[in-house]
A and B are shown apart, each in its own frame.
Chain A
């Protein structure tokens, strides 16, 4: 009985509902400060890879609710954490790895690895004795500035580094502090 079948309405074009934006920064480590600031202010954000047009091969950006763009931009300008661009997005970026692995060498040395970065500390003195892994040029620089210093004296990788390797090293360092105390 086809008479009672409803006539199909012609399909309306589908518009994607763009509700999220991306803050793009010059260096991945700037994102660490931005992430902390925005989370403290209560914004629901994610740290993700940027879209292909912005990728160099070592990038990190912040996904945020687009409705908060004005407030977030004002906050970032006030704290001099200026993004180089703000773009709306419809696809999800990849999140950086936060898994860590730990390995004890006897009871004296602890090595923590996050992604491709490893930090090793003398558990008794809390002195950083080695930094290994990574491929961005700030890694040897970070090693020079951090090795031989206590965990609480050494500069944090997000303060003196610029790359995703520095971001991963920061993740490893934070885990080390959780494990040994600063």
Chain B
């Protein structure tokens, strides 16, 4: 089972767990429709589209309302810590949550008790808390953007907002940021660094870069990185290795961007609509 976990921007929405289904305006979990925004909904819809295209079981979503007050995130951490071993999870993606070092370590302690540990992907707040806790080694894939890569490269920062200036200013040298992140134990076996050039890393080495098509106007669009994380999740659930999943997802995201022909004012759902066509195009290009 692919479990997709994260908070959604609704005050007082209780913890919902259930298969994700696609709806016109977003996704449905446990009967609740969640409209597409950046963040978890975009990630979950991208993952679900991939599952649908590959003909595999749809993911299970675990969401709770949280607008930054921590209640929803706390409910998510506590449920995972108490129930993960009995949920039958093979791949788990943890996304937007309020970082909470103690609660995340509780979840990781539960994972450590599992006979068959799930493959774990982290992005957004879940990646921040994993890095701040020195726990990157428990995860299989991180998907930082350039700003977050500077954070992973700074062994002293607890949050991207604390990245030291001299490292923030190194962002034109992404290979050096990647080297520092691995040297500090703050990177995962497979890592996808999203940017003008996408870097795909395996065990400390850059093994692939994606430069084309170059759609400059995608950078301001909130949620494009979330699509990559969702697609990687769906592809790993469909049996692709983390490395191949990154290679496909990065190319599909750019192809979808090209099809959508965005401006800086475009919203992420317009890119999402182009994912199935983009996937088909990339499959042909890669001979898959």
Q: Which residues of A contact B (CB under 8 A)?
A: 27, 49, 55-60, 94-97, 99, 103, 105, 109, 111, 113, 115-118, 120, 122, 129-141, 143-144, 161-168
Interchain Cβ contacts under 8 Å between A and B, 18 examples: A56-B102, A58-B99, A58-B128, A94-B158, A99-B169, A105-B220, A105-B264, A116-B160, A118-B220, A129-B264, A135-B127, A137-B6, A138-B9, A138-B67, A139-B39, A162-B69, A163-B98, A165-B160
Residue from A27, A105, A137, A144 in contact with B125 in the complex, judged by beta carbons closer than 8 Å: A137
Please indicate the chain B residues that have their CB under 8 angstroms from the CB of A115 in the complex. 147, 160-161, 163, 168
Measured in the bound complex, the distance between the Cα atoms of B219 and A120 in whole Å is 10
What interface size band does chain B fall in? 35 or more
Q: Which chain A residue shows the least CB distance to B42?
A: A140
Please indicate the chain A residues that have their CB under 8 angstroms from the CB of B39 in the complex. 137, 139-140
Question: How far, in Å, is B233 (CB) from chain A's closest CB?
Answer: 16
Measured in the bound complex, the distance between the Cα atoms of B126 and A136 in whole Å is 9
Please indicate the chain A residues that have their CB under 8 angstroms from the CB of B281 in the complex. none
Q: Which residues of B contact A (CB under 8 A)?
A: 6-9, 37-41, 66-70, 72-73, 96-102, 104, 123-129, 132-133, 145, 147-148, 151, 156-165, 168-169, 216-217, 219-225, 263-267
A-B contacts, CB under 8 A, total: 177
Please indicate the chain B residues that have their CB under 8 angstroms from the CB of A162 in the complex. 67-70
Cross-chain contact A135 with B265 (CB below 8 angstroms): no
Please indicate the chain A residues that have their CB under 8 angstroms from the CB of B168 in the complex. 97, 99, 115
Cross-chain contact B38 with A132 (CB below 8 angstroms): yes
Cross-chain contact A135 with B163 (CB below 8 angstroms): no
Cross-chain contact B99 with A168 (CB below 8 angstroms): no
Please indicate the chain A residues that have their CB under 8 angstroms from the CB of B263 in the complex. 105, 109
Residue from A57, A122, A130, A141 in contact with B100 in the complex, judged by beta carbons closer than 8 Å: A57
Cross-chain contact B161 with A137 (CB below 8 angstroms): no
Residue from B127, B133, B220 in contact with A120 in the complex, judged by beta carbons closer than 8 Å: B220
Measured in the bound complex, the distance between the Cα atoms of B266 and A111 in whole Å is 13
Residue from B68, B160, B225 in contact with A138 in the complex, judged by beta carbons closer than 8 Å: B68
Measured in the bound complex, the distance between the Cα atoms of B42 and A139 in whole Å is 13
Residue from A49, A97, A132 in contact with B220 in the complex, judged by beta carbons closer than 8 Å: A132
User: Lowest 3 CB-CB distances: which A-B pairs, in order?
Assistant: A138-B68, A57-B99, A162-B68
Contacts A56-B101, A129-B265 given: A118-B219 contact, CB under 8 Å?
yes
Please indicate the chain A residues that have their CB under 8 angstroms from the CB of B147 in the complex. 113, 115-117, 133
- Apart from the given pairs A57-B133, A109-B220, A137-B68, 5 other A-B contacts in the complex at a CB distance below 8 Å: A94-B158, A115-B147, A115-B161, A134-B124, A144-B9
Residue from A94, A99, A165 in contact with B162 in the complex, judged by beta carbons closer than 8 Å: A94
Contacts A136-B68, A164-B161 given: A111-B9 contact, CB under 8 Å?
no
Q: Which chain A residue shows the least CB distance to B66?
A: A137
Residue from B72, B159, B219 in contact with A58 in the complex, judged by beta carbons closer than 8 Å: B159
Measured in the bound complex, the distance between the Cα atoms of B159 and A116 in whole Å is 9
Please indicate the chain A residues that have their CB under 8 angstroms from the CB of B151 in the complex. 116
Measured in the bound complex, the distance between the Cα atoms of B258 and A23 in whole Å is 49
Centre residue among B6, B38, B102, B217 by max chain A CB count within 10 A? B38
Measured in the bound complex, the distance between the Cα atoms of B159 and A132 in whole Å is 17
Q: Which chain B residue shows the least CB distance to A119?
A: B220
